[in-house]
């Protein structure tokens, strides 16, 4: 089983101890809404592989308005013919990313970007914004790369977290796996919990975009599954192409 990593020596958020109780059963009946956007919107079949960009968005809602649990993994099944190719991308060592030294990652190791919002109650009621850059940590022609997302909290630029992106075979198809660690805030306070997340594969290497397809994609519905750190899970179906 793959283990998510957090930025070395950096707490996700910093806040004073507050004597505030958080109500709601985390994870109990959470729902996830998945939205996909492909560019081109209806990729055509191609023996060499049509290059495709993808936005994968998730919105997480707790049952009855309760605070949702902390996302642990999310799997998105890709359409038939889709694969990820690491050709043309450089790599950035995981150790460099974990040391918060991404300024030394090659520009050509960037395979995408990420955004999101996290619930940090009781530190504050409004959600905090996170932005991330997706760096290839392993890349080889003809094979899907491995990658880490280096997140920064907009309101606290010194606060970071690291998630992982993996491509996993599922029968004859591939799925994208997103792996997120616990997001600690301060001693005695609940972890932060994502309420939405968008992962975008939009960077172009010397050999083209990361995602390619040999088959046409139209009128498809793609299943996704999300698990949470409390052991619960949720399923979603998104319209694609």
Kindly tell me the number of DSSP H helices and DSSP E strands found in the chain: 1, 15
Which pLDDT does position 198 carry in this prediction? 98
- The residues spanned by each domain of the chain are 32-240
Q: Which of 188, 168, 191, 169 is nearest to 180 (CA)?
A: 191
pLDDT digits (tens, 9 = 90+) for 137-157: 999 999 999 999 999 999 999
Find all residues with CB under 8 Å of 144, minimum gap 6, and list them: 83, 84, 85, 86, 167, 174
Whether 55 shows a pLDDT value over 90: the answer reads yes
pLDDT above 70: residue 17: no
User: pTM of the full predicted structure?
Assistant: 0.88
Tell me the pLDDT tens digit for each residue of 96-134.
Answer: 999 999 999 999 999 999 999 999 999 999 999 999 999
| Bridge partners for 36 per DSSP | 56
- Mean pLDDT across the stretch 77-90? 96
């Amino acid at each position: 089983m793959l283990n998510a990593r957090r930025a070395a020596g950096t707490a996700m958020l910093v806040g004073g101890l507050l004597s505030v109780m958080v109500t709601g059963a985390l994870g109990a009946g959470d729902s996830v809404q998945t939205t996909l956007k492909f560019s081109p919107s209806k990729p055509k079949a191609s023996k060499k592989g049509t290059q495709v960009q993808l936005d994968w968005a998730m919105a997480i809602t707790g049952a009855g308005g309760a605070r949702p649990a902390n996302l642990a993994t999310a799997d998105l099944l890709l359409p038939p013919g889709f694969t990820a190719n690491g050709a043309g991308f450089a790599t950035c060592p995981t150790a460099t990313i974990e040391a918060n030294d991404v300024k030394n990652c090659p520009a050509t190791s960037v395979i995408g970007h990420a955004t999101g919002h996290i619930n940090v109650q009781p530190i504050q009621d409004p959600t905090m914004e996170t932005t991330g850059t997706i760096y290839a940590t392993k890349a080889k022609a003809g094979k899907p790369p491995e990658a880490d997302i280096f997140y920064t909290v907009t309101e606290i630029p010194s606060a970071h977290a690291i998630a992982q992106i993996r491509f996993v075979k599922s029968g004859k198809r591939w799925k994208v796996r997103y792996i997120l660690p616990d997001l600690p805030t301060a001693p005695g306070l609940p972890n932060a919990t994502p309420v939405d997340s968008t992962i975008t594969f939009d960077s172009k290497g010397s050999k083209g975009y990361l995602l390619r397809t040999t088959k046409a994609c139209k009128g498809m519905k793609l299943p996704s599954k999300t698990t949470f750190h409390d052991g619960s899970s949720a399923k979603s179906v998104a319209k694609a192409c």
